[in-house]
Amino acid sequence: MSTFHVMTNATGNIERPAVRQIAVADVFASLREGYEDFREKPSHYAFVALIYPIAGALMIGWSAGVELLPMVYPLLTGFALLGPLMALGLMEISRRRELGQPADWSNVLDLFKSPSLPSLLMMSAYLVTLFMVWLVVSRGLYLSMVGDYPAPGVFAFATGIFDHPNAWAFLFWSNGFGFLLALVALTISIVAFPMLLDRDCGAAAAVGTSVRASLANPVPVAVWGLMVAGLLGIGMATLMVGLVVIVPVLGHATWHFYRRLVV
């Protein structure tokens, strides 16, 4: 029976696997491999990827009240912070395909039997915390810099925002803070989640390896982050419909990007 562990592996040690230096070409190669996984296993995107458009639609509906309209943008953009968590099942499918193991949706449920489950839950808590911080700070900045809510309706709200004398200052500080949170999330999780699927190493080793991989490959990691943000933005611009394809491809690609970064 395995011992309960979160930060370390089962023996109480913190591993330090070697990281590789990669090129920008590896970013797009990972995306291509992610698309291949999606094409080979197209039936598997539904149970994970549909969470994005459904949750997005629910959040828009929840935010339909005039007093909650300012939360639509931070909700939609901040939702991307949870991307690695939402893509766990897709990474597991890619891992199983690579090993030649069965990769049906039922096999993904074996995640709940993984010895790394406590570490995965802790990493998930990190990302959820960042998401909540983003929501709280965004609302606080809006109330302090814009204040009064505009007339009902999305267009009236948007017009009211850009007509406000503090509009550009608000957009600068809110998006700047969001960028910093996204940078933290990217740095600590770019390989942490797939690494915990791959090996029972503990959260400390997963985060440490993720940071070392990011520092060793600043340009490819930056390109990866921009690519993910751009594709998610395109998906959201299509009223979430595009996310049904974009999210599973990115989820699979995350696994392949990890395999390139970590020995």
Half-sphere exposure of 102 (CA within 13 A, CB side): 7
| pLDDT tens readout for residues 14-54 | 889 999 999 999 999 999 999 999 988 776 556 555 555 56
Closest CA to 178 of 37, 80, 70: 80
Bridge partners (DSSP) listed for residue 19:
262
Note the Cα 154 to chain centre separation in Å. Answer: 27
With H, G, I as helix, E, B as strand and everything else as coil, classify residue 220.
helix
Residues counted in the chain: 263
- Cα(33)–Cα(216) distance, integer angstroms: 23
Residue 46 CB neighbours (<10 A):
12
Rounded distance between C-alpha atoms, residue 150 and residue 110, angstroms: 49
Q: What is the pLDDT of residues 69-85, one digit of tens each?
A: 677 778 778 878 888 88
Query: What is the rounded radius of gyration, in angstroms, for the C-alpha atoms of the chain?
Result: 19
Confidence of residue 235 (pLDDT cuts 50, 70, 90): confident
Q: Residue 1 pLDDT > 60, yes or no?
A: no
Task: Give the global pTM.
Answer: 0.86
pLDDT exceeds cutoff 50 at 178: yes
Mean pLDDT of all residues belonging to the chain: 84
Spatial separation of the C-alpha atoms in residues 92 and 28, rounded to whole Å = 20
Q: Name every residue whose Cβ is closer than 8 Å to that of residue 200 and which is 6 or more positions away in sequence.
A: 2, 9, 10, 114, 115, 116
Cα 190 to Cα 199: distance, rounded to the nearest angstrom = 15
For residue 146, name the pLDDT band (cuts at 50, 70, 90).
Answer: confident
